[in-house]
Amino acid sequence: MSVFAIETKGLTKLHSKNRGCRNITLQVQKGSVFGFLGPNGAGKSTFVRTLLSLIHPTEGEGYILGHSIREIAARNRVGYLPELFRYPDWLTGRQLLDLHGDLCNLSHRVKKKRIDKLIDRVGLAGRGDEKIKGYSKGMQQRIGLASALLSDPEVIFLDEPTSALDPIGRKEVRDLICELRDAGKTVFLNSHLLSEAETICSHIGIINHGKLIVQGKKQDLSSIHSQVLITLVGKEEAWWKSAPSWLTHCEKRQREGGRTTWVVTLNHLDNVPDLVSYLAEKGLAVYQVTPQAPMLEDIFMYWVNRKGDEKV
Ligand SMILES: Nc1ncnc2c1ncn2[C@@H]1O[C@H](COP(=O)(O)OP(=O)(O)OP(=O)(O)O)[C@@H](O)[C@H]1O
């Protein structure tokens, strides 16, 4: 039996002009929260829709809970919240869930119990009997989330699940994802909101221009490079341009009272003395050098700006 909830081998879906996702080989462990991150248009939704057989692969294979995505069995224990959700707005929230419950073959008793619980859980208590027509965008996304969870799926695909939600709603969805994880479910989260993925994802895959650039445990991706925060005073014009290859990335953070703070990515923390000597040679006064654990945003920028298809 497969240890992976999701596995793909060279999965490719090309739309016109060769846009989409190509040659994606990844594994998602059961019980993990996998953040699939990438800029707009990177191919995240295309990948998920291909996995769910909403569109057909151009090439390659995919498996959900050990079943090929070409078989219906692959979709038996799956929940999905699409990015562009749109529900029949003449139904009430409860009627929509009722309909989905029937499509999932739930018994009347189980359906009623789950619907009551989910309406409450997604923050729609007291609004379930109103027509979707009168729901705000955020409320529609909430009812979509309830619908994705109705069949009590093992694997849940959430495509930008908080795009229409306010900060409170975002926190509620984060908590819900953690609950699902604690209940042993696998969550595949498509997102370009890195703060969302930062706190909840155990594993990360980064996609750009349709290609998977890197995948792995979040902490492994964090330790692949070493970042330091440096504060400098002096003539700074493009000081990094002639830096040796151990300096891989550099970004200005803030300027205050004649001092500028930069985030510098080094090959290794052993390069800190080299960095200080180099800055001194350039006539820059170093006021602070602080090694720091990179935020997900730094990891993301590092991989998206880097060339090659490495894996950790
Ligand atoms: N049905 C389609 N026909 C033609 N091109 C498409 C189609 N769907 C997506 N694309 C193109 O494929 C690329 C990937 O789109 P996709 O929606 O998968 O990206 P995404 O990473 O989910 O983006 P976002 O974060 O903006 O939602 C884009 O260039 C997009 O224009």
Which is the closest atom of ligand 1 to the Cα of 48?
A: 18
Name the residue at shortest CA distance from atom 26 of ligand 1: 40
Residue 222 pLDDT grade (very low, low, confident, very high; cuts 50, 70, 90): low
Pairing of strands 285-292, 226-233: antiparallel
Higher-pLDDT residue of 10, 244: 10
d(CA 20, ligand 1 centre) in Å: 6
pLDDT at 253 over 50: yes
Q: pLDDT by residue (tens digit) across 141-161?
A: 999 999 999 999 999 999 999
Among 11, 46, 191, 304, residue to substitute to test ligand 1 (most atoms within 8 Å of Cβ): 46
Domains of the chain: 4-219 (3.40.50.300), 226-293 (3.30.70.3100)
Percent of the chain with pLDDT over 70: 96
Q: What is the pTM of this model?
A: 0.82
Q: Measured from the CB, is residue 121 less than 6 Å from ligand 1?
A: no
For the beta sheet containing 155-159, the strands, ordered from the edge strand earlier in sequence to the opposite edge, are 78-81, 155-159, 186-191, 33-37, 203-208, 211-217
- State if residue 16 touches ligand 1 by the CB under 6 angstroms criterion: yes
Chain-wide mean pLDDT for the chain?
Answer: 90
Q: What is the Å distance from ligand 1's center to 2 Cα? A: 30
Q: Is 131 in the pocket of ligand 1 (CB under 6 A)?
A: no
Q: Does the interface ipTM go beyond 0.90?
A: yes
Pairing mode, strands 78-81 and 155-159 = parallel
* pLDDT tens string 149-203: 999 999 999 999 988 888 888 888 899 999 999 999 999 999 878 878 888 999 9
Those residues with Cβ within 8 angstroms of residue 262's Cβ, 6 or more apart along the chain or in another chain:
229, 230, 231, 232, 250, 251, 252, 253
